[in-house]
């Protein structure tokens, strides 16, 4: 007999994870801003974030490094040790999906509705597809393929201008302005190009100026944010040679991440940079940089910037501390997850939040703000993001359903556990079948 208040399909043993808990590992709770005031058993103290106020052909489409199915240990090992394009034998369903995607991308005007439907099941890896599909799903590319060349050229030029204008220190800005006025002439009275005499340096140009319009004052204010970006980028996926190490390629990739995040922070003074944004940027840049079309790969930084901006537009309120207690802030988003669980599995909800008194902020804050990038390995995260980006309702709604599905899949262990064991389980989520988890999440759609 089905349990009262629970859909019959949830009573199947398939929905309960039988895998043993993963080995204990340090939990990265640096984004857990709002722990509950009192708890019966205190979890490991989180690190609190201190935030500042607020026309390519189908054959040239990007390569994705990950298989759709859950990866084997050897494949994950290859990915982490520099083999960024493993090539396992394609499953029949992957071959079929590949032909569907290639056929759709070959049309003069792509049907985004159909593309979303295909991508929601996960994208194939061996056809160089994920890069272009993500750009389409994020609105960076138009469905009309005839516009791609001009759109890309325009955006890439715009990003180049952003770098020139926003990444220069005041001395470089002054030299550039002076050069535009003819200051680079051969006049012997000019000591060097861009040099200013004492009489020409205004109060606002002085490094010690505290004026609100002073380039130097604003430059020094940015220093703290830039240092935080540098620290976070250096610890982005330290187990992957693509992001970490002493190689020239790794350092170049780190520099690209820093530049993207710095420009985003300067263009968005209300949010600036918040810890964790580097984890959201990393998958986008990785996919674009590994595009088999070298022309596209060369512009991975600019393409990743605009796609990152578009993705953040749907989640930026979660990073804005001033909105934490509003109906669009992170607290309310976590409350919506709690309500979703209560709607689909009241027994589990009651056990977690009433009986064991686990505040969902202890685990859901990181799940939501980092888009599950820390709960699964990098390969699996790409598969999850295919579904997140393809949902016409938007990634936020899909993300909440996936988080709810994660709870339901381990419901037996949670119902049998207490505060300490359940919190440990949810902060170190056990291995699971990603395709199965996404299927459960889709079943949770409100009919």
pLDDT at residue number 233: 97
In angstroms, the CA 176 to CA 355 distance is: 65
Q: Which of 80, 57, 133 is nearest to 295 (CA)?
A: 57
pLDDT at residue number 30: 40
pLDDT at residue number 12: 47
Contact 62, 132 (CB under 8 A): yes
283 phi and psi, to 5 degrees? -65, -35
Task: Please compute the mean of the pLDDT values over residues 111-129 and round it to a whole number.
Answer: 86
In angstroms, the CA 249 to CA 384 distance is: 27
pLDDT at residue number 35: 44
Tens digits of residue pLDDT in 361-401: 999 999 999 999 999 999 999 999 999 999 888 899 999 99
In angstroms, the CA 3 to CA 345 distance is: 10
Structural domains present in the chain: 93-138 (no CATH), 147-170+212-313 (no CATH), 322-444 (1.10.472.80)
**How many Cβ atoms sit within 10 Å of the Cβ of residue 341?**
25
pLDDT at residue number 58: 40
Tens digits of residue pLDDT in 183-224: 554 554 444 444 444 445 455 554 544 455 555 556 666 788
In angstroms, the CA 291 to CA 112 distance is: 21
Contact 433, 25 (CB under 8 A): no
Asked whether the predicted pLDDT for residue 234 surpasses 70, the reply is yes
Contact 126, 151 (CB under 8 A): no
Q: What is the pTM of this model?
A: 0.73
Give the residue carrying structure tokens 């109906």. 327
In angstroms, the CA 166 to CA 160 distance is: 10
pLDDT at residue number 98: 86
% of the chain exceeding 70 in pLDDT: 64
Task: Give the list of residues 6+ apart from residue 388 with CB closer than 8 angstroms, or none.
Answer: 371, 395, 398, 399, 402
């Amino acid at each position: 007999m089905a349990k009262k208040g629970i859909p019959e399909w949830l009573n199947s043993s398939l929905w309960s994870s039988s895998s043993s808990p993963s080995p204990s590992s340090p939990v990265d709770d640096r984004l857990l801003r709002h722990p509950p005031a009192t708890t019966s058993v205190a979890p490991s103290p989180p690190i609190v974030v201190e935030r500042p106020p607020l026309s390519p052909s189908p054959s040239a489409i990007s390569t994705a490094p990950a298989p759709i199915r859950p990866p084997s240990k050897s494949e994950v090992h290859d990915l982490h040790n520099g083999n960024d394009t493993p090539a396992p034998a394609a499953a029949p369903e992957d071959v079929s999906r590949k032909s569907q995607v290639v056929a759709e991308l070959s049309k003069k005007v792509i049907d985004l509705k159909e593309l979303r439907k295909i991508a929601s099941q996960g994208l194939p890896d061996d056809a160089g597809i994920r890069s272009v599909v993500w750009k389409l799903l994020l609105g960076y590319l138009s469905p009309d393929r005839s516009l791609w060349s001009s759109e890309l050229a325009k955006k890439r030029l715009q990003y180049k201008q952003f770098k020139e204008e926003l990444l220069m220190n005041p001395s470089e800005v002054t030299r550039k302005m002076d050069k535009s006025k003819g200051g680079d002439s051969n006049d012997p009275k000019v000591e060097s190009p861009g040099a200013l005499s004492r009489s020409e340096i205004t109060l606002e140009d002085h490094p010690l100026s505290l004026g609100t319009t002073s380039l130097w004052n604003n430059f020094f204010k940015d220093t703290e944010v830039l240092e935080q970006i540098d620290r976070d980028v250096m610890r982005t996926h330290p187990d992957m040679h693509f992001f970490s190490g002493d190689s020239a390629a790794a350092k170049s990739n780190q520099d690209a991440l820093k530049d993207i995040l710095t420009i985003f922070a300067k263009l968005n003074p209300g949010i600036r940079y918040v810890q964790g944004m580097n984890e959201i940027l990393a998958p986008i840049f990785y996919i674009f940089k590994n595009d088999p079309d070298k022309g596209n790969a060369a512009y991975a930084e600019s393409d990743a910037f605009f796609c990152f901006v578009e993705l953040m537009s749907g989640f930026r309120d979660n990073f804005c501390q001033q909105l934490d207690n509003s109906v669009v802030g992170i607290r309310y988003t976590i409350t919506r997850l709690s309500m979703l669980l209560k709607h689909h599995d009241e027994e589990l909800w009651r056990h977690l939040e009433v009986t064991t008194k686990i505040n969902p902020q202890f685990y859901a804050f990181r799940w939501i703000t980092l888009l599950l990038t820390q709960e699964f390995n990098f390969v699996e995260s790409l598969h999850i993001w295919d579904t997140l980006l393809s949902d016409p309702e938007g990634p936020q709604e899909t993300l909440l359903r996936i988080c709810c599905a994660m709870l339901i899949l381990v419901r037996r262990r949670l119902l049998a556990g207490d505060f300490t064991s359940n919190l440990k389980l949810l902060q170190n989520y056990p291995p699971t079948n990603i395709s199965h988890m996404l299927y459960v999440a889709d079943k949770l759609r409100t009919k």
